[in-house]
Amino acid sequence: MIFTDPFFLFVFLPLAALTFHLVGRRHGTNGALATLLVISILFYAPWGAWMTAILMLSVCVNFLCGGALVALDDERASMRKLLLAAGEIFNFGALIWFKYHLFAGLVADAEARDVAAWVVPAGISFYTFHQAAFLADAYAREPNVVLLLGKMKNVRDILTGFIRYSAFVIFFPQLVIGPITYVKEFLPQVASARFGRIFYVNVSIGFTLIAIGMFKKLVLADNLGIYSDSVFERASLRVALTPVESWVGIASYYLQLYFDFSGYSDMAIGLARIFGLRYPINFFSPFKAVGIIDYYRRWHMTLTRVISRFLFTPLSLAGTRLAARKRYGVMAVKILGLWLPLMINFEVIGLWHGAIWSFVVFGLIHGIWYVAETEVRSSKRWKKWRKTVPGVRRAIYGRIILLLFMPLCFALFRADSLETAVYLGQQLFAGAGAMTVSAELQQALKPLVAGFVVVYLLPNSIELLRNYRPGILTYQNPSYGPHWPVRWRPNWVWTAFFGAIFVVCIYYMYRQPPFLYQGF
Amino acid sequence: MQARLPNFVRYFFRRPTLVAIVSIWLGYATVAGFVIGVDPYDVYPWGQRVSIPKNFAPFEMIRVVRVAARDPQTELVLIGTSPTTIFRQADLAKAYPGYKSPWNVSYHGSAGTDRARTIDQFVQYSSAKRYLITLDYFYAKPSSEVRDSYPDFQYDETPLNDLRMVNSVAIKAAFRALRSGSPFPDAVRTENQENGFREGEKRRYQTSEKMRRLAGWIDQYRPTIATPSSLRCSQMPLLQELLTQTRALTKKGARVDILIPPYSLGLYYEWAGDPLLHRGGGDTLLMDQIAMRRCAVLGLAHTPGAHVYSMDLDFALASDLGNFRDPAHIESQTGLRRFVSMANYPELELTPENIDSYATQIRKAVQNYKLKNSALPFNSRRD
């Protein structure tokens, strides 16, 4: 099922919420969690029995590993290390096996890649990251993980622990495309006496976030996708494009991906909130960022923090220690402690999206860009310049640079091959034809303009609802753009507004293009 | 004195979101209940008994494939795509007089997978005695696509996605079905729509500019137009499915005639030059098509009741673009008459014995093609 499916919204969700509330009231936290687990399995089941079996197998293996990591005492340190390694190898081995077919995609033809893509279990990336983080926390005996698993002294305890853990991993709003959550964010809310019942204010917040997310996906992203799909298809067939068509196609995809993914995240956070859970936010106006460093604190934030915690930080520490041990110079310390870890970081992010060369180059460019910006911002000249130029102007310069280059990176991301991306890049500046504006292009400009207005002039969903703390702030980011004096409240005016938006979305609901990140 | 509001009113007044959710839910449930209850496309056992006019193939034919498949009176069915939407019931009746209530189930823009699903409906539900199925270019594709907006959800086995049927088109169709018994606009309007579409296509293609462009492509691609194909029959999954479906229909006692739509000889150059049209067919486009036709002929050689026909060797017709609205769509009255009645001409049947000769003749004709268009004051520079 997907969130924009009318069956999900009008049948599954109301029934799920009602059952959760009734069982939660009668059977408390464990009953509510067991209900969430069953609901989530039912949500996932339409993807296929074997995908569900793989998911459950993964959950069982991680639960056993996590339980053993917590149960084994510190004297058996090597055993614990071995167990952690085995668990992580299982997680990432399964991810690599299913997602990349051991990187066969780099050499296989397009048809083989299509087949490989088809058999990737839905959400495997996200539940792998969830569980990898869980195992690391279990190894570190993070108090919430210890509490989540419980004492595990008898069958009842084990069953209770399993239900809690499974509900944490499989909880349907975040199962397929995130946000990637830590146990320490989940457990305290589940442990609250209020958990297990549906509250009006949570329903109001959830409904509003769902309406915002649906609008982003169904009205903006899907309409932007019509033109971007056409341009990228033509590019893949090497059909001549005018520069205007190429720029509009690339800009459309730039916004499409953002609205598609952030729309999903808004809906996920909204759905979780209906069940009384606040989930970490994934997007905070990334296109208003003033540079790539700022951008990655605002785009897919839960992935950024996972990668940063489990990849960048250990690599950076190891590099710095190595440089210190060998008494290398300042430049070597920089390379080993910062540049190399950053490059690896972005290469892993690139390759996580798929085993094709365009993702490799995407990661490379982002790595170089990030390193360059880090260096520029730490240079003396920058610091001197910063004192002479007002912050507003600096922010505008930063945004212009981001707006010029990030859509090109997204084009690389969207293109079916590196050759297609290069071809499209050529069309941007040397494309055929004059600056003609076809009817199709005119049609494409409407959602594009609307999209840019939403991105640059309106508050994001978290800013709008901030009086009600709609999600957990993954990073503290300043708000940019016009400061609107409005704040959402669960009153008649806002309800009518978002109710109308919901109804507009229903009009587009018969189209069911999948969320773009479902493929990852 | 102020009247005291009932408790439930006060409860909801303080909870606007609940009012909104309940209103939206009730509104949607009402509309969905209305559409599914009326059942304008006759998907369910209940609902309005709809009558689909058989004298034309409406734009929304994709939505009533099951109705056509379940029609007990239909003895002859034509399943095709844009080249055959032009045929009326009268054309089929005239061409094949022995069959009652013929029905043209052709729709624009078929992309492959949707065709297989359409034929599946006939394999499952139909009791027709004869089928005419066009062997379109997309059967040579190694991968399959679905026509945009093809209503899969109407024809699959799960009821969980049926709510997707509820949209503005279906709501209008439900009202029409209640009012007139048919979910479609009246025949005149639909026919005008179809004619307007065809006229528009013809106007856009039949221009001197397009002919000049084609002449350039002919010069450019002539040396490579017959590049050998590496496609094997097993690499054409759609064709394999068609062969399986054909066998299933013949097992039910029906006769199946596979008709190769008459393309102009210029088509292979047009599509080689404009890759958007053939979605990357490349230099092997012509030979891929020939390979696909050969696979169809050989694959059905031992299936009693199945035949493959082609009129592409009528080079007087195929070489003159004046007979077509664009290179893939024949428009001349003579050509259309012959196309619809192709299965009545044994000399047009392709068999394992004549397929090699057919392939050689087509290949040579395309390789030596000189652009001709009797409808325009334009001819190839070489003429």
Mean pLDDT value across residues A341-358? 90
**A204, closest residue in chain B (CA to CA):** B17
Per-window interface: A 205-244 vs B, CB < 8 A: 207-208, 233-234, 236-239
Q: Which of B16, B23, B24 is opposite residue A492, by nearest beta carbon?
A: B16
pLDDT at A385 exceeding the cut of 60: yes
A495 touches chain B (CB under 8 A): yes
Nearest to A181 by CA among A497, A488, A474, A382: A474
**Given an 8 Å threshold on Cβ–Cβ distance, is B16 in contact with A114?**
no
A109 touches chain B (CB under 8 A): no
Q: Min CA distance, B131 vs chain A (Å)?
A: 32
What the block records as the tokens of A89 is: 């190898």
pLDDT at A83 exceeding the cut of 80: yes
Per-window interface: A 167-206 vs B, CB < 8 A: 200, 203-204
> Domain-by-domain residue ranges, chain A?
6-198, 205-519
Where in A46-175 does DSSP place strands (E)? none
B3 touches chain A (CB under 8 A): no
Quick: pLDDT tens for B298-310. Answer: 999 999 999 999 9
For residue B25, which residues of chain A lie inside 8 Å, CB to CB? 10, 14
Q: Min CA distance, A36 vs chain B (Å)?
A: 20
Is residue A19 within 8 Å of residue A40, measured between CB atoms?
no
**CA dist., res. B62 & res. B78, Å (int):** 14
For residue B164, which residues of chain A lie inside 8 Å, CB to CB? 5-6, 509-510, 512
Per-window interface: B 156-195 vs A, CB < 8 A: 160-168
Quick: pLDDT tens for A279-289. Answer: 999 999 999 99
Query: CA A209 → CA A212, A466, A493, B92, B234, distances in Å?
Result: 5, 12, 16, 55, 49
If one compares A355 and A326, the residue with the highest pLDDT of the two is: A326
**CA dist., res. B267 & res. B214, Å (int):** 9
Q: Which of A239, A490, A506 is opposite residue B16, by nearest beta carbon?
A: A490
**A115, closest residue in chain B (CA to CA):** B143
Q: Min CA distance, A128 vs chain B (Å)?
A: 29
**Given an 8 Å threshold on Cβ–Cβ distance, is A14 in contact with B25?**
yes
Omega prior to A490 cis, within 30 of 0: no
Task: Tell me how far apart the 2 most distant CA atoms of chain B are, in Å.
Answer: 100
For residue A10, which residues of chain B lie inside 8 Å, CB to CB? 25, 28-29, 32, 163
For residue A512, which residues of chain B lie inside 8 Å, CB to CB? 164
For residue B163, which residues of chain A lie inside 8 Å, CB to CB? 5-7, 10-11
Quick: pLDDT tens for A430-470. Answer: 766 655 667 788 889 999 999 999 999 999 999 999 999 99
Residue A281 phi/psi, 5-degree rounding, is -80, 150
- pLDDT at residue B2, rounded to an integer: 59
**Given an 8 Å threshold on Cβ–Cβ distance, is B161 in contact with A509?**
no
- pLDDT at residue A434, rounded to an integer: 55
Quick: pLDDT tens for A100-131. Answer: 765 455 545 555 555 555 567 888 989 999 99
Q: Min CA distance, A516 vs chain B (Å)?
A: 18
To the question of pTM greater than 0.90 for the whole model, the response is no
**CA dist., res. A440 & res. A280, Å (int):** 39
- pLDDT at residue B382, rounded to an integer: 43
What the block records as the tokens of B145 is: 């696509």
Quick: pLDDT tens for B310-364. Answer: 999 999 999 999 999 999 999 999 999 999 999 999 999 999 999 999 999 999 9
Query: For the CA atoms of A112, A115, A119, A120, what is the dihedral angle to 10 degrees?
Result: 60
Per-window interface: B 312-371 vs A, CB < 8 A: none
Q: Which of A10, A236, A492 is opposite residue B163, by nearest beta carbon?
A: A10
Q: Min CA distance, A459 vs chain B (Å)?
A: 21
**A234, closest residue in chain B (CA to CA):** B276
Query: From the CB of residue B238, how many other CB atoms can be counted at a distance below 10 Å?
Result: 22
Is residue B112 within 8 Å of residue B145, measured between CB atoms?
yes
- pLDDT at residue A260, rounded to an integer: 96
Helices (H), A215-325: 222-236, 243-274, 292-296, 301-307, 313-325
Q: Min CA distance, B255 vs chain A (Å)?
A: 35
Reported CATH class of domain B55-165+200-379: alpha beta
**CA dist., res. A401 & res. A396, Å (int):** 9
**CA dist., res. A365 & res. A357, Å (int):** 12
Best interface-test mutation with A: which of B18, B22, B24, B156 has the largest number of A CBs within 10 A? B24
Is residue B135 within 8 Å of residue B258, measured between CB atoms?
yes
> Domain-by-domain residue ranges, chain B?
55-165+200-379
Is residue A456 within 8 Å of residue A262, measured between CB atoms?
no
- pLDDT at residue B57, rounded to an integer: 64
Side-chain half-sphere CA neighbours of B239 within 13 A: 29
B295 touches chain A (CB under 8 A): no
For residue A11, which residues of chain B lie inside 8 Å, CB to CB? 163
B280 touches chain A (CB under 8 A): yes
pLDDT at A242 exceeding the cut of 80: yes
**CA dist., res. A94 & res. B268, Å (int):** 46
pLDDT at A226 exceeding the cut of 60: yes
* Token pair 């624009």 in the structure block, residue: B108
The whole-chain average pLDDT of chain A stands at: 91
Amino acid identity at B134? T
| Low-confidence winner among A43-57, A236-250, A429-443 (lowest mean pLDDT) | A429-443
A498 touches chain B (CB under 8 A): yes
- Directed axis angle between helix A243-274 and helix A222-236, to 10°? 140
- pLDDT at residue B273, rounded to an integer: 82
**B235, closest residue in chain A (CA to CA):** A111
Helices (H), A389-471: 391-414, 418-430, 439-457, 461-464
Query: CA A335 → CA A309, A321, A339, distances in Å?
Result: 19, 12, 5
Q: Min CA distance, B244 vs chain A (Å)?
A: 22
Residue A42 phi/psi, 5-degree rounding, is -65, -35
**B148, closest residue in chain A (CA to CA):** A511
Q: Which residues of chain B have pLDDT under 70?
A: 1-3, 48, 56-58, 143-144, 278-282, 377-383
Query: From the CB of residue A315, how many other CB atoms can be counted at a distance below 10 Å?
Result: 19
